Amino acid sequence: MSNMNFDMPNFALALPEIFVLCMACVVLLADLFVGERNRVVTYLMSQATLVGAAILTVGLHTGETQMTFGGSFISDTMGDVLKVFIYLVTAVVFLYSREYLRVRQLFTGEYFVLGLFGVLGMMVMVSAHSFLTIYLGLELLSLSLYAMVALQRDSIGATEAAMKYFVLGSLASGMLLYGMSMFYGVTGSLDITEVGAYLAQSHDKNIVLAFGVVFVVVGLAFKLGAVPFHMWVPDVYHGAPTSVTLYIGTAPKIAAFAMVMRLLVEGLGDLHMQWQGMLIMLAIASMAVGNIIAIAQSNIKRMLAYSTIAHVGFLLLGILTGTENGYSSSMFYILVYALMGLGGFGMVILLSRAGFEADRLEDFKGLNQRSPWFAFIMLILMISMAGIPVSVGFWAKLAVLQALIRADMTWLAVVAVLFSVIGAYYYLRIVKLMYFDKPEDTSPIQPALDMRVAMSANGLAVFALGVYPSALTALCVAALK
Amino acid sequence: MFSDLPLLSLIIWLPIIGGLVVLAAGKNDVLVRWLALIFSILTFVASLPLYTGFDNGTYQMQFAEQMPWVATFNINYSLGIDGISMPLILLTSFTTVLVIIASWEVIQNKVSQYMAAFLIMEGLMIGVFAALDAVLFYVFWEFMLVPMFLIIGIWGGQRRVYAAIKFFLYTFLGSVLLLVAVLYLYFQSDSFSILDFHDLRIGMTAQVLLFFAFLIAFAVKVPMWPVHTWLPDAHVEAPTGGSVILAAIMLKLGAYGFVRFILPIVPDASHELDWLVIVMSLVAVVYIALVALVQEDMKKLIAYSSISHMGFVTLGFFLVFSIFDNTNSVAGAALGLEGALVQMISHGFVSGAMFLCVGVMYDRLHSRNISDYGGVANTMPVFATLMVLFAMANAGLPGTSGFVGEFMVILSAFKANFWIALLASTTLVLGAAYTLWMVKRVIFGPVGNQNVAALQDLNGREALVLGTLAVLVLLLGVYPAPLVEVMHASVGHLLEQAVSSKL
């Protein structure tokens, strides 16, 4: 028994993950015992889980980079920051969803349990440092999302969306896995540290590596929803219940950013020249297709889906610079995007009521007369998405553009700003509908108090961070040091 | 006495806070109007010490303030004014007071939002003139579009939506290129300070690219031919107050960009490409004046006349280089530049007044068509007197402010090139033609129709607004020295920068 070289992994580093896992199971069980009328208990327990996870993550934060589970799990500042934002965003998603789900008889334990498992998947993705862990986290998240989209069983649209999402998502996972297997074949390791080390010292230009990069990038582009792998995005966003769209459109984007960072930057950083060209094409295509097709939409969920695609294009711009400055800018961008996405979809939820989805553009007509305050909040969100100061969206664009120019890609910055002018048009159209048109529907807007407060805080946060973005930009820079 | 007070911050934020207070006051229209008036007057009063405390002897930035803002990118909240921006700030705070009085009972729909939009916009425009950090400049510059967009879109005329979106997208397109240019300069200098940009050495290729980026941004705003087409639409559809602010101040922002960014930052490219701007300016002066001649709509006519007059401003800026080449001294060039700056202020008064005059008539007859009027002088003698005075100023009659700037620019044009001067001088003929012909058809002659016969002359409020402007137009026309004096040192410094190579 002397050859006990099996090291006990340091479980403490993964305590937040373990906590969320346990709590998700507890919530699942508890939900069986609370009746229909006390379902709010499930909701509160889910929120408590997120708060607890946040306390654990912040409490365990050391500022050092530590590995555990044989190098397949990493704990570092970037991971901790991203996780805290994932909890925050998910908590707001749950809050916005509560009333929406209740009036549609969807206020079930499944939504919250799947949501929590999704959070766990995202946490694993953020902290993964081996191809397998990344895949594990990704699949846990994806499976939760597929099920959540299908939650509204009797809706044909939702079922169709879930089906599309599942088929295309599996295809993407397959691509990603195939690419990873090629790297395993060449480097002999699944560990990102080792793959990175191998690539740093080997000089042979193995054709398999090139193929591997292609498949990995395709897989990532699918998950991010970058053109030309974006087809699922509008259909899923449109078909899913708005509360699920809200969830899909926000927190998983943060996790996807982490996945790109772990895979492309930490793992395949030395193949930067290979993936840079691909990301340039993906970015330009995403900005072009996203911004132009969004103009033709009459459904706001579809429009926001295309707007997401365009934002993903912008996000990729920061990453493809291959500089620390670019990575922190992209990180800033994705956090800001999550905040704006929350607000945008949250507003659709806020305007909806029993039997009325408020997801057509016309439903925003005359909002300024029906509720000047929420029209103002939506105005802030729209100018932020368009990248107009004073809103945090402007700073996000500024950060990415300056990183691009610093990396000597001014031409790409010019392309990006020109597409953002096209993008401004459809955001302005919402403003136009709210402020210039007369309302067709004059029923009062009476959201619950918590929704009212959270939505106002969300909009004001976009504004306040626009006035003073310093703290968040500094945090993103520090996270990537 | 005022040196300790952050005066510039005060006059930027006072109206913005005022706007929020007005918004909060909500449905009580009377209270809202008075609050808006009080805040605008307070801002105007607070801006006066900028003039009285101004040191004419130096080109250095005065009333400077600096605070770190976004440390990650080395962005500072830094403000300061020189002899070029100070008069424009006064123009802004003054015009806003007039606009608020002029909109007093004209606006009945969503009064608080209307007044708040103007107050917030005032703060933002002053911010543009006072900002010394390029990102701060950009933030004010860009955010200003939002209230203006809402003003045109909510309170505008028939095709307001089209005009509002066109206005926004046109200017947004220009300004994003400005952003890229600013970021490039940041990359080169590791600073966003505009004054640091002034000292930065830049290669010729980069200068030319920067020149075009800036030119598109500012030319759209001025607006210069051929990117002027948003202006007639925006002016025609905007409510009177919006038109006044647009003509009197927003157009000046574009021109201000030329002197703050293009001339000092990319002097070599400006020198090389001055012919381009001169040609564009001359086309504006001559061709747009001809376009103005055939307009049926009074607001459109004045809009085109604005473009034509702003052509004079950009012409004055870019004559500098050929004068310098001809005479080898900056002294002669100063006249053109100062003329252009005087023209900016004068045009602020005159075009604002013209739009207010059209507004006065529109409020009574709800028509802007020249053919719906005729013989207004018979029923509105006081109004007719004032309108004729402003029309004369618009045509550049000596003794009015319109003459001073145009005369200075034409005079310096002769030092540059005879043909340029000749073409520029046609404005005196064409400007007189379109303005006076309109006046003849609207004001003089027999009473045109029943509606005109029933017109009431100016009420006290309207008379106060137009009367004040009339006094200023005459004062500046007869005695422009106080304005020119404050500019001297700054203009001299600007010329030094413009003619010294940065290669």
pLDDT of residue A124: 95
B71 contacts in chain A (CB < 8 Å): 470, 474
Does residue B6 surpass a pLDDT of 60? yes
Question: In terms of pLDDT, which residue wins out, B446 or B129?
Answer: B129
Copy the structure tokens of residue B157. 């005329």
Q: Do A402 and B186 touch (CB under 8 A)?
A: yes
A388 contacts in chain B (CB < 8 Å): 142-143, 145-146, 172
Q: Are strands A73-75 and B62-70 parallel, antiparallel or unpaired?
A: unpaired
The string of pLDDT tens digits covering residues A108-146 is 888 999 999 999 999 999 999 999 999 999 999 999 999
Residue A292: C-alpha distances to residues A243, A310, A396, B17, B107 (Å): 26, 9, 21, 38, 37
Q: Do B72 and A473 touch (CB under 8 A)?
A: yes
Q: Is B419 helix (H, G, I), strand (E, B) or coil?
A: helix
Closest chain B residue to the Cα of A400, Cα to Cα: B183
Name the pLDDT band for B1 (thresholds 50, 70, 90).
Answer: very low
pLDDT of residue A164: 92
Q: Do A421 and B169 touch (CB under 8 A)?
A: yes
Q: Do B153 and A435 touch (CB under 8 A)?
A: yes
C-alpha B281/C-alpha B277 separation (Å) is 6
pLDDT of residue A233: 93
Closest chain B residue to the Cα of A433, Cα to Cα: B161
Name every residue in A having a CB less than 8 A away from some CB of B.
Answer: 368, 372, 379, 383, 388-390, 394-395, 398-399, 401-402, 405-406, 410, 413-414, 417-418, 420-421, 424-425, 428-429, 431-432, 435-436, 468-470, 473-474, 477
**DSSP letter for each residue of B359-402:** HHHHHHHS--BGGG---HHHH-HHHHHHHHHHHHHHHT-TTSHH
Return the H-helix or E-strand segment holding B294: none
Q: What is the mean pLDDT of residues A448-470?
A: 92
Picking from B69, B177, B180, the nearest residue to A470 by CB comes out as: B69
pLDDT of residue A201: 86
Q: Is B414 helix (H, G, I), strand (E, B) or coil?
A: helix
pLDDT of residue A35: 80
Mutation site for A-interface testing, chosen from B12, B27, B70, B72 by largest number of A Cβ within 10 Å: B72
Determine if the peptide bond prior to A444 is cis (ω within 30°).
Answer: no
C-alpha B182/C-alpha B189 separation (Å) is 10
A86-95, B59-68, B126-135: which has the minimum mean pLDDT?
A: B59-68
Quick check: B160 contacting A, CB < 8 Å?
yes
Neighbours of A213 (CB within 10 A): 19
Q: pTM higher than 0.95 for the full model?
A: no
Q: Do B169 and A417 touch (CB under 8 A)?
A: no
C-alpha B2/C-alpha B14 separation (Å) is 16
Q: Do B187 and A406 touch (CB under 8 A)?
A: yes
Q: Are B254 and B219 in contact (CB under 8 A)?
A: yes
Q: How far is A386 from chain B (nearest CA, A)?
A: 10
Name the pLDDT band for A4 (thresholds 50, 70, 90).
Answer: low
pLDDT of residue A51: 96
Name the pLDDT band for A379 (thresholds 50, 70, 90).
Answer: very high
The string of pLDDT tens digits covering residues A236-266 is 999 999 999 999 999 999 999 999 999 999 8
pLDDT of residue B365: 85
Q: What is the mean pLDDT of residues A16-25?
A: 94
* Radius of gyration of the CA atoms of chain B, in A: 22
Backbone angles phi, psi at B66, to 5 degrees: -150, 135
Residue A280: C-alpha distances to residues A253, A404, B97 (Å): 19, 11, 51
Does residue B182 surpass a pLDDT of 50? yes
Copy the structure tokens of residue B356. 């207010």
Identity of the amino acid at A66: Q
Question: In terms of pLDDT, which residue wins out, A205 or B357?
Answer: B357
pLDDT of residue B107: 80
Give ipTM to 2 decimals.
0.89
**DSSP letter for each residue of A45-109:** HHHHHHHHHHHHHHHH--SS-EEETTTTEEE-HHHHHHHHHHHHHHHHHHHHHHHHHHHTT---H
The runs of H, that is alpha helices, within B84-110 are: 85-102
Q: How far is B191 from chain A (nearest CA, A)?
A: 12
B176 contacts in chain A (CB < 8 Å): 417-418, 420-421
Q: How far is B144 from chain A (nearest CA, A)?
A: 9
The string of pLDDT tens digits covering residues B385-414 is 999 999 989 888 888 888 888 888 888 888
pLDDT of residue B59: 85
C-alpha A26/C-alpha B275 separation (Å) is 76
Does residue A6 surpass a pLDDT of 70? no
Picking from A389, A417, A473, the nearest residue to B138 by CB comes out as: A389
How many contacts does A have with B, using Cβ atoms within 8 A?
Answer: 92
pLDDT of residue A414: 93
Percent of chain B with pLDDT over 70: 99
Q: Are A397 and A420 in contact (CB under 8 A)?
A: yes
Q: Are B380 and B456 in contact (CB under 8 A)?
A: yes
Q: Are B186 and B229 in contact (CB under 8 A)?
A: no
Name the pLDDT band for B4 (thresholds 50, 70, 90).
Answer: low
Residue A138: C-alpha distances to residues A123, A180, A382 (Å): 10, 14, 31
Quick check: B86 contacting A, CB < 8 Å?
no
Average pLDDT value for chain A: 91
pLDDT of residue A336: 95
pLDDT of residue B3: 55
The string of pLDDT tens digits covering residues A228-237 is 999 999 999 9
The string of pLDDT tens digits covering residues B24-33 is 887 888 888 8
Torsion sign, CA atoms B112, B118, B121, B127 = negative
